[in-house]
Amino acid sequence: MKKILFACLFLIFTTHINAQCNEGFMPSGFINFSDTNGDLHTLNNYLYSGKIVVLDFYLLTCGSCMASSPCIESLYQNYGQNNGDVIVLAMDVGDGESTDEVAIEWVEEHGMPNVPNFSQMGGTQNTPSFWGQFYGGCGENGGFAQSYVLRANLCCGDQSAINYELGCSAYCGDNSCCIYDENETPPLQGITYAHQGGVIDCAEITNHIDNLLMQMLDVENSTNLKNKNIVKTINILGKPVKESNNKILFDIYNDGTVIKKILLQ
């Protein structure tokens, strides 16, 4: 059931995304783009280190962008201020030529003061390098506000992967889990969520990120257990037992770790 649920979720997101991005589009990385604080960011460095990346594109005159800004700020705050598994970035992609000062003033006024923010000084508009080709491949096809969630493009198609039974059709290292129909070619794009037009649904994007994090946790747990063997199983009194229903048991592994489990009828 878990495998079916994850696969269904992934197929829904993929269908939603393909309708809004150029056919065959793959997110490429902006390289050493400077935010308004002078810090450098490279998209693919984040992706290939196993991070989930939230990209928010805004216009200075966009009301929906203004209304969506507090949500983007909350994602930044609630998921570790870019110090954990989720990276949140905001980018001005309007028709003007905003400066860093203009972009800073905008995010402070509309409730997104702490998210790493990029003015149009970070790239040249209408060129292949503008935001690493991402905006040209996806953003120009939709309205604003726009927000995307990306994961690493690491689908290897190995159905013998250790976490295959967890719902992952491929596992390629760095906690990257790729889910797809076994009868189809593995997906090539790393976009898992796209919002284009109107105020973003904060609960929806939050739930999506939470689901991705749970998948990462499943992969990590499976990876950690791959080379471990259960030495014995004991009950709460420390006595060795055979598994049965309605008991609290503890599996003891050959590396000394102990995992508690509850068996229900």
Alpha-helical runs (H) found in the chain: 2-18, 43-48, 63-78, 100-109, 134-137, 202-225
Once rounded to an integer, what is the mean pLDDT over residues 178-186? 54
Between 158 and 103, the higher pLDDT residue: 103
Q: What is the pLDDT of residues 107-121, one digit of tens each?
A: 999 999 999 998 876
Poorest-pLDDT segment among 86-100, 101-115, 130-144: 130-144
Overall pTM > 0.85:
no
Residue type, 146: Q
Task: Tell me what pLDDT residue 80 has.
Answer: 92
Q: Is 173 left (phi over 0), alpha (psi -120 to 50) or beta?
A: left
Q: Per-domain residue ranges for the chain?
A: 2-224, 230-263
Task: Tell me what pLDDT residue 206 has.
Answer: 94
The correct answer on CATH 3.40.30.10 for the domain covering 2-224 is yes
Poorest-pLDDT segment among 23-32, 143-152, 174-183, 247-256: 174-183
- What are the percentages of helix, strand and coil residues in the chain, rounded to 5? 35, 20, 45
Task: Tell me what pLDDT residue 101 has.
Answer: 92
Q: What is the pLDDT of residues 216-238, one digit of tens each?
A: 665 555 555 555 666 667 666 66
In the predicted structure, residue 70 carries a pLDDT above the cut 70: yes
Confidence of residue 16 (pLDDT cuts 50, 70, 90): very low
Task: Tell me what pLDDT residue 58 has.
Answer: 92
Task: Tell me what pLDDT residue 151 has.
Answer: 78
